Amino acid sequence: MKRTYLGEFEEVVLLTVAVLNEKAYGVAITDELDRQTGRSVSISAVHAALSRLQEKGMLYSHMGDATAERGGRRKRLFTVTALGSRTLHDIRSMRDQLWNSIEPNALPTIGLAGS
């Protein structure tokens, strides 16, 4: 199977969709990204990443019910697909393998909290 690579932003967007589970839509994803990472991102950047992830088959979207808070408009809700989940697990496994390969004391600890 051909491996699909994600950029760092696509990875955190995909992870954020997983965190939000059934409540993942554009604004909620943007807010959660800011809350979890301290990174202020534009809604258009999030929508572009969601679109790319959907094209890659890592996300599925559907229209939710109309809500009063949105003036009767519906939200496009996103969920992680099996491919998206497998990709996230592969990325985590690769990162863990790399972290575990670092020799003890190989990284300087200057400026790190708790050091």
| 52 C-beta neighbours (distance < 10 Å), count | 16
pLDDT over 80 at 4, yes or no: no
Mean predicted confidence (pLDDT) in 76-82: 96
Residue 2: the pLDDT is 56
Residue 1: the pLDDT is 47
Distance CA 115, CA 103 (A): 17
Mean pLDDT of the chain: 88
The domains of the chain, with CATH numbers, are 8-92 (1.10.10.10)
Q: What residue type is assigned to position 66 of the chain?
A: A
Beta bridge partners of 79: 60
pLDDT confidence band for 111 (50 / 70 / 90):
low
Query: CA torsion, points 37, 57, 27, 67, in degrees to nearest 10?
Result: -150
Residues 42-64: tens digit of each pLDDT: 999 999 999 999 999 999 999 98
Mean predicted confidence (pLDDT) in 83-89: 95
pLDDT over 80 at 98, yes or no: yes
Beta bridge partners of 66: 74
